Structure 1
Amino acid sequence: MHICFITNEFPKEGFPHGGIGSFVKTLAVSLVKKGFQISVAGINYTPNNETEIVEGINVYRLKKSTIKGFSWYFNSKALNEKIKQLHKENPIHIIESSELGLAFLSKIKDIKYIIRLHGGHHFFAESENRKINKWKGFQEKRSFSKADAFIAVSQYVKKHTEQYLSYNNKPIAYISNPIDTDFFKPISENESDNKILFAGTVCEKKGIRQLIQAFPFVKKEIPNAVLEIYGRDWFFPDGTSYIKMLKEKELPKIEKAAEDVCFKGAISFNGIPNAYSEAAVCVFPSHMETQGLVAPEAMSMEKAVVFTKLGPGPEAVEDYKTGLLCDPYNPKDIAEKIIWFLSNKEKKEIIAKAARKFVVQKYGLNTIMDQNIVFYKSLLKSED
């Protein structure tokens, strides 16, 4: 079977990538090991074409158009041409993208087109209480109309997406994103007893501002606590930096505690486990997630995790059994959960060990990979 993933986020050395990129690499590598042919096609970060083989995956990064107002057209044209070429050389059976990814793809007979619900424009517009952008909303509806099937990474994202977009009576499966529990495994000797870690895009919806506001409450109880923030910057529509805003507006508010807040910048995929391993507590107070990868990744490493109680948080963490759930809009609540872990080391260790067992069972790579393969094959079988 030949599967082609459509994404611009496949990890590339020296460039930031998001959760979708991590997901595609993790699943694609495991599928290659099972004998599947895997291609990844997307638009490059730079204005040139690049092709490489990454752990058996054929990765095609296409030249990025810089023509203002028409870049979407030329990028889509390049992507369509590449897919046609790949299909001619070795027939593609499945094409998979995230919510907007099929909008301008030309459908080819005999290929099944799947949308995996990672959290699209309508989904996050609801969670962030903002208006639908007409252009993005149009693309998402157009993309959904072209899909032959859907995969939801959590029950929450399925229910909240269907309030705005139709699945058009097409097959839909619930399959969590996988966690490579051999890659994310315990490295206990690195752990610091006072380090609090955040990882993810540094933006409002990840709850980082409230985490910074929570930090002085933590320092009051745990004076030697430090907060390390890993992740790429986010930029406002006018091009200004979110991290710069935090440094200029939020850090002065927490006064002396700001001395122990460290922005570490983006981190490579291979560097993530080492960063997690050094933390006493990993905190991800997201305002909204579709599933969230960072929480189960850290849990897989037997780390104490504070995750959001909103959205799919309770699907990923059982409160006081595999981690702690917090109100991401309440800095005092975030602080209380961090302090609880740092003050209850024996209970923290029990919870952390239970967390890994839970992740292995629910998000284990082999389990999730098998679920995906069964679904892929069921779609192709329906054509027979």
Structure 2
Amino acid sequence: MKIAFLTPEYPHPNTGKSGGLGTSIFNLAKGLVKIGHQVSILVYQQHTDTVFTEDGITVYQIKNVKVKGFSLFLTQRKVQRLINTLYAENKIEIVEAPDWTGFTAFVKPKCPLVIRLNGSDTYFCHLDQRPVKPKNKFLEKRALQQANGIISVSQFTAEVTKQLFNLKNKITIIPNSIDISKFHNNTMEIENNSILYFGTLIRKKGALELPLIFNEVIKINPEAKLILIGKDSGDKQSGSASTWKLMQPLFSEAALHNVDYKGLVPYSEIGHYITKATVCVFPTFAEALPVSWIEAMALKKPIVASNIGWANEVIDDGTNGFLVHPKEHTSFAEKINELLKNQQLQKSFGEAARKTAEQKFAMEVVAKQSEVFYRKFL
């Protein structure tokens, strides 16, 4: 098959910064190429119109059209023309796009168009309990209604999205994936009593719960250390330009002394920090299906994470990790301390986590599931 992915981000030096959406597309694209398909990536919001090929994947950079009041519409038309040209030239057969902000609401390709739910703006605003822009909700709903098919990375995201948009469409569940071959837990020595959080410092990921949780950890285990990795972000609720500044006063004096915030580090170095950590923690309130959890699991790390919605589709509580509500600070801390002091439990959870990552979230597994889905529309 000849599959194209339309996206506002993609992890490559030529295309700029990318988050979880771009990483999930990159992993799936590699998986599809590995099982014999041709893959094109159409990246809009670029500074230039360029085409390049790397590792068997052809990337089309698309510069947005800048005309006041008409930029979105004209860029959509530009993308539509490109898709239809590639289809006419037999370079693509089907296009997949994300749900975020409903970019495809008024894009009408001549080939099938499917949408993968990684979490729309409406979805995340709902989980954050804040209002969504009416324009975004309208575009996202229209895009989903227009799509030939819909995939969701989790059952939870599918159900919430259906309710929010009153959708009647059938939604197929296919999770995010990682390249398992890139995640090997080598003989690097684990730093005892170390707790790692990696991800953006932002309220919706539980960043403001972390200090209150760690305060409870320190009361029982004064040797515990908290390592934070990720870019700082502003906080819409308080108006603060820095979530890290909001976090610091929440730590007790003893706890703050044992916190090491390393800021944003290159993605290539994240595995090093995961491998060294004793436990990884994710007290998040809003996700679709987090790749960061899967990466930690692939490196055999025991996890204590949020028990909200999507969580039990990734972690089997008590088998390959612990699930606790982020607001239950004492209970969350108790589970962290239980893992910190019990090496056998660390090993048991880590081995089970790796097995889950291999069986459910390896890119080859997810690529084959996606292949079956695409064939329905060709």
Q: Normalising to structure 2: TM-score of the pair?
A: 0.91
In structure 1, list runs of 5 or more residues that go unmatched: none
Tell me by how many angstroms 1:21 deviates.
Answer: 0.9
Q: In structure 1, what is the Cα distance between the partners aligned to 2:113 and 2:34?
A: 23
8 Å contact 1:3–1:38 — kept in the other structure?
yes
Secondary structure at the counterpart of residue 182 of structure 2: coil
- Is 1:49 the counterpart of 2:46 in the alignment? no
Of the structure 1 ranges 77-86 and 3-12, higher mean CA displacement relative to structure 2 is found in 77-86
Q: CA deviation at 1:66?
A: 5.6
The yes-or-no answer on 1:353 pairing with 2:354 is no
Q: Which residue of 2 aligns with 1:165?
A: 165
Q: Does the 8 Å CA contact 2:218/2:254 hold for their aligned counterparts?
A: no
The one-letter amino acid paired with 1:331 is H
CA distance in 2, matches of 1:113, 1:353: 39
Question: Which residue of structure 2 lines up, in the alignment, with residue 147 of structure 1?
Answer: 147
Other structure's SS at 1:114 match: strand
Render the CA deviation track for 1:211-242: whole Å, top value 9, x for unaligned.
12222222233323222222233334699665
SS at match of 1:265: coil
- Give the CA deviation at 1:104: 4.2
After superposition, residues 260-271 of structure 1 pair within 5 angstroms as 260-271=258-269
Map 1:79-90 onto structure 2 (within 5 A): 79-90=79-90
Contact 1:18 / 1:201 at 8 angstroms: preserved in 2? no
CA distance, structure 2, for counterparts of residue 59 and residue 101 of structure 1: 21
| 1:326–1:147 distance in 2 versus 1, CA, 3 Å | same
Mapping of residues 118-157 of structure 1, within 5 Å: 118-157=118-157
Distance in 1 (CA, whole Å) between partners of 2:239 and 2:81 is 35
Tell me which residue corresponds to 1:174: 173
Question: Equivalent residue for 1:252?
Answer: 249
Taking structure 1 as the reference length, what is the TM-score of the superposition?
Answer: 0.89
Which amino acid counterpart does residue 39 of structure 2 have in structure 1? Answer: I
SS of the equivalent of 1:60 reads strand
Give the AA of the match of 1:312: W
1-structure distance, mates of 2:328, 2:75:
42
The answer to whether the aligner puts 1:320 opposite 2:318 as a matched pair is: yes
> In the alignment, what sits opposite 1:108?
109
For 1:313, give the aligned amino acid.
Answer: A
Count of aligned positions: 375
Query: Residue by residue, what CA displacement relative to the aligned partner does 1:27-48 show, whole Å, maximum 9, x if unpaired?
Result: 1012112221111112245x33
- Residue 311 of structure 1 corresponds to 309
- Give the 3 Å change call, closer, same or farther, for CA 70–361 of structure 1 in structure 2: same
Report the more deviating stretch, 11-20 or 190-199.
11-20
Taking only aligned residues, the RMSD between alpha carbons, in angstroms, comes to 2.4
Asked if 1:31 is matched to 2:32, the reply is yes
Q: AA paired with 2:353?
A: A
Conserved? CA contact 1:141–1:165, under 8 Å:
yes
| Structure 2, unpaired ranges of 5+ | none
User: In structure 2, do the counterparts of structure 1 residues 67 and 227 end up closer, same or farther at CA, with 3 Å as the change threshold?
Assistant: farther
Between the aligned partners of 1:82 and 1:240, the Cα distance in structure 2 is 40
Letter in 2 for 1:319: D
1:290-321 deviations in whole A, cap 9, x for unaligned?
12111121111100111111111112111121
Does the 8 A contact of 1:177 with 1:363 survive in 2?
A: yes
Question: What does 1:166-245 correspond to in 2, within 5 Å?
Answer: 166-169=166-169, 171-236=170-235, 244-245=242-243
Residue 102 of structure 1 contacts residue 144 of structure 1 at CA under 8 Å; is this kept in 2? no
Question: Any conservation in 1 of the 2:52–2:59 contact (CA below 8 Å)?
Answer: yes
Identical aligned residues as a percent: 32
Which letter maps to 1:296?
A: I
The 5-angstrom pairing of residues 358-377 of structure 1 reads 358-377=356-375
The 1:263–1:71 alpha-carbon spacing in structure 2 relative to 1, beyond 3 Å, is farther
**How much has 1:4 moved relative to structure 2?**
0.9
How far residue 70 of structure 1 moved from its aligned partner, in angstroms, is: 4.1
Tell me, in whole angstroms, the C-alpha distance in 1 between the residues paired with 2:335 and 2:86: 50
Give 1:161 shift.
1.0
